[in-house]
Structure 1
Amino acid sequence: MNRLLAVLFFTRFGQILISLLIHSDQQHLYPTLYQVFTPISYAAPACFYLYVSSFIQGNSRLLKFQWMHFIPACLALIHVFPWPLNEINWPVVADQVERNKQLFITERTGLFPALFYYLGRPVLIVGYLIATWYVVLKSRILDSKAGHSGRNWLSFFLKTATFFQLTGFLPLLLWNVEKPGINTVLMILNCMILLVILIFVLHQPKLFYGYLFVSVDLDMEAIKSHAPPVLNSAKKVSLLPDQLISYSNSMKEVMEMKRPYLLESFQIVDLAGELNIPVHHCSFVLNNLIGKNFRDWINEYRINSFMEQYPLKAERMTIESVAHECGFKSIATFYNAFKKETGLMPTAYFSRKKVS
């Protein structure tokens, strides 16, 4: 999901960079960057659709057939490859980009005829835009009654992405109009809108938690004891029962097979990254299916590891040393966790075990 978002942001960055190079003294760099960003721009409409549809369906990975959406991007890669004897009039292309922006270039830019670019890209953008809104409206995810936790984020993302995609068609409305300063006005308008979005993000950061940002509420007791911070998972999440079970099994499998709890710095963000699922989904599964917060859950694994290792190493290592090996950064956190799991302090626990 994050990679699909990255393609969209990277495409926008490429469009701005190409425009800047054309208007600067570095035009010799423009053809290379144009060829680099063209396949990415062909993948962007599909990424937009796949991100939204996967978000709605709760998928964390693309299905096999969904990779077919990237066929146009593969064709674009073939198109811009510097084939021998494939001469391109880059000054004319640059002039058309300056006058008509990057969506309507009638000069040949690669192996295929110019039709591939000035008709292919608009068709992809409009087609995927319609398909995306159809999926959204059909799912009714934007309906407040649906109660989906990501409704606000998806609404913001849809509207913003749709706006910037549709602004690419403005040159059509101004095709036969004398426009000495219109390009400047359009660029200023885009910059102003980006500034408004940035200000909105700064004032409404919670909208992006779990999607672009990670929401972290620090546990003051954990800080005092130098334990890892606990992430608040109060956000409501709409997951199907099968998804809950699948996530739970995957989380347990990672902990048992890879044993990341032995790392003192391991946090829920790292677990979510390992499984490629949102952080708030991990928190939801822990709180509602497993029945523990992240700190208690990971400490349980560390305590179990300690109880296996300490009897084997007791003659040559102290309790504190073994606790550090099992992932505890703070001795106070270890003793608190041990007593919470067993009801006794370590010395009393192993003494009783010897007697029994």
Structure 2
Amino acid sequence: MQLLNLLASTSCLFLLLFSFHLFFAKKGNKLLNVLLSLLFFSRFGQILIIFLATSAQLNATRITFLVFTPFYYAAPACFYLYLSCFIDNKSKLESVQWLHFIPAFLALIHVLPWPAFVSINWDIVMSQLAADGYFSLKERSGLFPAAFQYTFRPFLVIIYLTLAWIKLLLQKQNNLSKITDTERYWLFFFVRIATFFQILGLVPAIFKALQIPYSLNFFIIINCLALLCLILFILHKPSIFYGHLLVAVDWKKKALTKEVLAEQLEENDKQAPVKKEEPEKSTPKQGKKVKIPAPLLEAYGQSMKELMTNQELYLLPDFQIIDLAAKLDIPVHHCSYILNNHIGKNFRDWINSYRVAHFLKQHPIKGDKITIEAIAYESGFKSLATFYNAFKKEKGSMPSYYLNQEAHITQ
């Protein structure tokens, strides 16, 4: 029981944090944030009600049940509308889309106090919730008959799951879609996870209908463990989920790390005009000016290319211009000068060109086994944003479009 309490309280905490974070986030698509927030809030309420029911807290269970039931019936619609609006790039619901919330409106009418029409035995409601869960609640819990709970709600789940998969698969077949590979990965991941949790929620009702003995606590533990594992996975995949779950964090914004400082240094060197020195003047010069003889400039440039090609240093995600200068045993600003004035690129674009070339060599070999993003990481890119920006700069289009065009040409 202590394990159940720990897992349930931890899961509720994370769901509530995600829900509040998304609802009040100022960045991203506000509509998508709110829809996903309501989805998490509904899940939070569902776990909380079962937790309170199994703890035999009658008054808390009754109040929580009345508050969260409309959210519970809105969740399938929020799930589908989030997916649909994400794919269609909408920031506002159309008039007809508000009809999806009719079940939530009916649920609100259902839980309103109706003392003149119906009497509810909350002791039985709580005991059934604790023993069998939501989908097996056979006791009347509001204005409408009990079938509103154990028949209509599972029907909503199945219908909206089906609609979501149809929408997603049709989008995948649409070559004109503007959704990036990362967004497509997130959507498929999101729908798979939602499908898993919804089916897991239906299993106790199926077991009860087939008269198979089971323990609801076991399914609650499985739900909470799966949720916590999902959160751990999210924490280790920030480049995918920033912008979708952690929308308040701008994952494309760079921090002042060694990489950024080095890039700023060579960018400044590139932008600063290189003035020719005038030997006639004997006045002392302010600061250091780079002057490398043409033969030495050529030799250093060739050494840089050979070093990068032979040792494949571009495969090291943390390799910086400082490291390149150390290998060549020259000052960093000399290294930046050679890149900008001899090779014609700043360090970032230069090393990313090698990474893009490596990606294009590896994709025909590994493309049918792993994703584009995985090959990009193997090619030395630290983030997907850097990969997409570098690829577009090198090839003039996004990776999926470029690879499709190349495939059509070869055919």
Q: CA deviation at 1:141?
A: 6.7
Query: In the alignment, is residue 29 of structure 1 matched against residue 66 of structure 2?
Result: no
Which of 70, 73, 96 is matched with 2:104 structurally? 73
Q: 2:166 aligns with which of 134, 150, 153?
A: 134
Map 1:247-326 → 2, pairs under 5 A: none
Which position in structure 1 is the counterpart of 2:83? Answer: 52
> What code does the residue aligned with 1:161 have?
A
The equivalent residue for 2:92 is: 61
The aligned residue for residue 201 of structure 2 is 168
1:18 aligns with 2:63: no
Q: 1:201 to 1:4 in 2, by over 3 A?
A: same
1:189 and 2:226 correspond = no
* 1:306-351 Cα distance to aligned partner (Å, 9 max, x none): xxxxxxxxxxxxxxxxxxxxxxxxxxxxxxxxxxxxxxxxxxxxxx
Q: Which amino acid aligns with 1:34?
A: F
Give unmatched runs, 5+ long, in structure 2.
1-31, 262-384, 394-411
Corresponding residue of 1:202: 235
Change (3 A) 1:196 1:46: same
Q: Could you tell me whether the CA contact under 8 Å between 1:52 and 1:132 is conserved in 2?
A: yes
Partner residue in 2 for 1:101: 133
Supply the distance in 2 between the matched residues of 1:203 and 1:217 (Cα, whole angstroms).
18
Deviation of 1:148 (Å)? 3.7
Change (3 A) 1:186 1:77: same
What's the CA shift for 1:218?
2.6
Runs of 4+ in 1 over 4 A off after TM superposition: none
Give the percent of matched residue pairs that are identical in Structure 1 and Structure 2. 44
Provide, for residues 73-105 of structure 1, a one-character-per-residue CA deviation record: whole Å limited to 9, x for no partner. 111101100123331011111121122211221
Q: Deviations over 1:166-218 (max 9, x none)?
A: 11111133215463x62222222122211211211111111112111221323
1:83 paired to 2:114: yes
Task: Note the alpha carbon deviations across 1:275-305, whole angstroms, 9 max, x for none.
Answer: xxxxx9xxx9xx99xxxxxxxxxxxxxxxxx
Could you tell me which runs of 5 or more consecutive residues in structure 1 were left unpaired when the two chains were aligned.
225-279, 289-356
Q: Secondary structure at the residue paired with 2:134? A: coil
- Write out per-residue CA displacement over residues 114-164 of structure 1, whole angstroms, 9 at most, x where no aligned residue: 122211101111111101111111111799x97444012112111111111
Query: For the residues of structure 2 that align with 1:134 and 1:73, how far apart are their CA atoms?
Result: 23
Contact (CA 8 Å) 1:142, 1:155: kept in 2 or not? no
Aligned-pair Cα RMSD in Å? 2.8
The answer to whether structure 1 residue 115 and structure 2 residue 152 are counterparts is: no
Distance 1:98 1:107 in 2: 13
* Mapped partners of 1:49, 1:64: distance in 2: 16
